[in-house]
Structure 1
Amino acid sequence: MLTCMGDDAGAVRSAVLSLHRTTGLPMVFGGAVAGRERFRITEMVGNTTDSLSGLVIRQGSGLGGKAMALGRPVWVSDYPHAATISHDYDGPVSREGLLSIVAVPVVVRRRVRGVLYGALREPLSLADRVIATAVETVRDLEQDLAVRDEADEALARLGGPGGPGAGDQASSSTARWEEVRAVHAELRGLAEQVADPEVKARLLEASVRLATANRDDTERLPARCDGPSGPALSPRELDVLSYVAIGCTNAEAAQHLGLLPETVKSYLRSAMRKLGSHTRLEAVTAARRAGLLP
């Protein structure tokens, strides 16, 4: 069974590092939701103490808890004297010397998955640019988490009834292979939406493994779009073919891939020419024989 794309904590860690790099804020920190209506601060850059490390923030409490409850960014320019938040965590915040802080919740499918903070050790108002950058960083994180969720769900379907692990009888069923082909197309489409190069590479690797899943070891060919053993299809040509293979029209493939229908048509024509095919069906069949599609 393929492994999942990664957990929320790892994604939050990358976002914290990115926000620190792009804003130059003295301290950036955050954490992923660690239970019902609470999250734990696990990622910190620029800290001078460990006072915030591992701190559990409850929904509605403090600045981050308020951001979690409201589902939107909140900030203060003088934390110890701010009248708009509760002061449950004044001790740890004071020991770190933080005064001006912004907290931005990470919301995916209407559920808070974590909170990112950026902070100054001076009672100054955070610049609009800094807050906008923090929000943009969180939006990118939300997109990555959403794509990972979809990828995990697609991969999980392969392990259920009728999936590749369901036994020899299921392995030979038409329904099983239609599902494999649908997941293959979905994985390639998702890969184009991911900003994280490591996650993108893992999604594409998963699609490659699916592309040769229906071939015996004796006949399996490397499922590469640019290898010497098969036609030199471009990644986008293969993306288009993967959706054509599950019965999508050009318009439907365009919608899945974020392309214009005419662009899809152009990629399809190019793929057909390279595969020596005259119809969509011939192109799909040729690609499967070359080990490019499941």
Structure 2
Amino acid sequence: MTALLRPRDGDALRAEIRWVARRADVPVVFGGAVDEDTLLLTEFVGTVTTGLRGLSVLRTSGLGGQAMQHRRPASVADYRCASTITHDYDAAVSGEGLRSVIAVPVVVADRPRAVLYAASRGASPLGDRTAEVVVAAGRRLAHEIAVRDEVDRRVRLLELAAPTTSTAPAVTEELREIHAELRALSGGAGDAGLRDRLAGVCARLTGVLTGEPAGAVPQLSRRELDVLAQIALGCTNQEAALRLSLGAETVKSYLRQAMSKLDARTRHEAVALARRHGLLP
């Protein structure tokens, strides 16, 4: 298989920074991704100088370093006079005129992956509302990165799975489980590009296991296929609902619609027909 490139996490980071700028009453929002123990500032809204652009923040230095080190938000009411942080980056911060600053780490699997900042230039400290918005953005970004990590992990499993004659049935069943979980993961993906990528991976996987679609193919919706993928694993309606974050009645409705489009009398026949048409692996 040819690996699909992971969407750049910087795109998701940029989206959250812009969201904070729209939702919070704060003049400056910025941030960057963490690589090993170093944060690189790359995304900005409201800055008037280039002093912060491309700045590398070490895990042991400054407000961002404190947020990374302790894996929790850190803030100062007046950056220049703060005694709780190192002042390695005073020139860049003072050049931008920033005073009240909050730094929120984006933590995935107990590891900082990015840091979001909000800052003001006035004497008044940032309010609780601003802090709540930045923290919410950090949580959303952490969820998005976690989903992308899981997708990458499962794609690697797909690429490593090289069926042999003796292992083909077991590998096929494992690939079907991966297909169903990828479809379930797509429901929690907030990024449209990532959802498209998931759909592409699922389509590739289905093609590998079923070949070309047979005859006229019924047009099932994304959610109808999501439900059938779970049913194919032997899930009950309730189990499928939990895995897809849907209501049990909603799952039943999607299943009925899929059965009707496939002209199937039972759920198991619906799965068999979907596979025959190349809609499921």
Q: Tell me the TM-score normalized by structure 1.
A: 0.88
Matched residue, 2:171: 176
Contact 2:25 2:130 in 1 (8 A): no
Matched residue, 1:109: 109
Contact 2:210 2:275 in 1 (8 A): no
Q: 1:191 aligns with which of 177, 186, 189?
A: 186
Matched residue, 1:123: 123
Paired residue secondary structure (1:41): strand
CA distance in 1, matches of 2:99, 2:166: 61
Matched residue, 1:247: 234
Letter of the aligned partner of 1:95 in structure 2? G
CA distance in 1, matches of 2:112, 2:254: 39
Contact 1:8 1:113 in 2 (8 A): no
Distance 1:149 1:231, change over 3 A: same
How much identity, in percent, do the aligned residues show? 47
CA distance in 1, matches of 2:13, 2:221: 33
CA distance in 1, matches of 2:133, 2:110: 21
Matched residue, 1:232: 219
Kindly state the Cα deviation for residue 79 of structure 1 after the two structures are TM-superposed. 0.8
Matched residue, 1:3: 4
Paired residue secondary structure (2:145): helix
Kindly state the Cα deviation for residue 40 of structure 1 after the two structures are TM-superposed. 1.4
CA distance in 2, matches of 1:171, 1:259: 38
CA distance in 2, matches of 1:19, 1:155: 32
Paired residue secondary structure (1:183): helix
CA distance in 2, matches of 1:67, 1:38: 12
Distance 1:171 1:209, change over 3 A: farther
Letter of the aligned partner of 1:150 in structure 2? E
Matched residue, 1:226: none
Matched residue, 2:209: 214
Contact 2:105 2:116 in 1 (8 A): yes
Kindly state the Cα deviation for residue 116 of structure 1 after the two structures are TM-superposed. 0.6
Matched residue, 1:141: 141
Paired residue secondary structure (1:83): coil
Letter of the aligned partner of 1:77 in structure 2? A
CA distance in 2, matches of 1:26, 1:75: 16
Q: 1:267 aligns with which of 243, 248, 254?
A: 254
Q: Deviating runs (4+, > 4 A) in structure 1?
A: none
Q: Tell me the TM-score normalized by structure 2.
A: 0.91
* 5+ residue gaps, structure 1: 223-228
Distance 1:239 1:81, change over 3 A: same
Letter of the aligned partner of 2:22 in structure 1? R
After superposition, give the CA deviation of every residue in 1:178-209 in whole Å (9 maximum; x if it has no partner): 12211211111111111111211221222122
Distance 1:61 1:177, change over 3 A: same
Distance 1:9 1:171, change over 3 A: farther
CA distance in 1, matches of 2:166, 2:122: 64
Letter of the aligned partner of 1:61 in structure 2? S
CA distance in 2, matches of 1:252, 1:281: 16
Letter of the aligned partner of 2:106 in structure 1? V
Distance 1:28 1:291, change over 3 A: same
